[in-house]
Amino acid sequence: IPDILGLNITIPYKVAALKLVQEVEPVAAKIGAINVMKKMKGGSWKGYNTDYYGFLTALEKLEPPEFWKGKNALILGTGGSSMAVAEALSALRMKAKKVSRTPGKDELDYEKLTGRMLKQVCLLVNCTPLGMYPNILAAPRLPWEELPKGAYAVDLIYNPEKTLFLERSEKQGLRVQNGLPMLIAQAEKSWEIWNS
């Protein structure tokens, strides 16, 4: 389609889309996934990752950047969004571990999460599609009663407004935020990219 000047990419294509672009912004290259493409002069395409900026902006709505420094986080999921979240947490100097049903190197298994591990966590981020409409009765498998009271639970999902993951986290005394602040911030960043 010759008139398209840019587009957004969503799950599950953020990693695969890298093969479609001729140039990648440094942050997106470091992440290894893109969610925005921009048509450049001459017709080539450049890839960006606005999830990174969106997530940082969403966290700033909870606490200032200094608050997160040195604290521990768990990232639930290992897809394109989790890659952007991991890079954002690294920029904040947080210590983050990914949790997966099929863990790779340096990743944790849901089945092996212990209360001792969870008690050291300040932030849990759901980067999986579990709980997204229409499958609203799904949630990552966690030892809910072991979740640390007072920590933050952030879900990248915004439909429904409160996922089962957030409901259960809130019930255990965690402070919760859905994916709407991130969605808005990354959309604004996309618009800025396309109009620059």
The residues assigned a catalytic role are: 14
Q: Collapsing DSSP states into helix, strand and coil, what is residue 189?
A: helix
Specify whether the backbone of 107 is left (phi greater than 0), alpha (psi in -120 to 50) or beta: beta
Q: How far apart are CA 127 and CA 6, in angstroms?
A: 24
Quote the tokens at residue 72: 């521990």
Residue carrying structure tokens 């009663």: 145
User: Which one-letter DSSP state was computed for residue 63?
Assistant: S
Of 107, 63, 70, which Cα lies nearest the Cα of 89?
Answer: 70
DSSP secondary structure string for all residues of 138-170: ------GGGSPTT-EEEES--SSSS-HHHHHHH
Beta bridge partners of 152: 123, 175
Sign, CA torsion 154/160/165/169: positive
Quote the tokens at residue 141: 């498998």
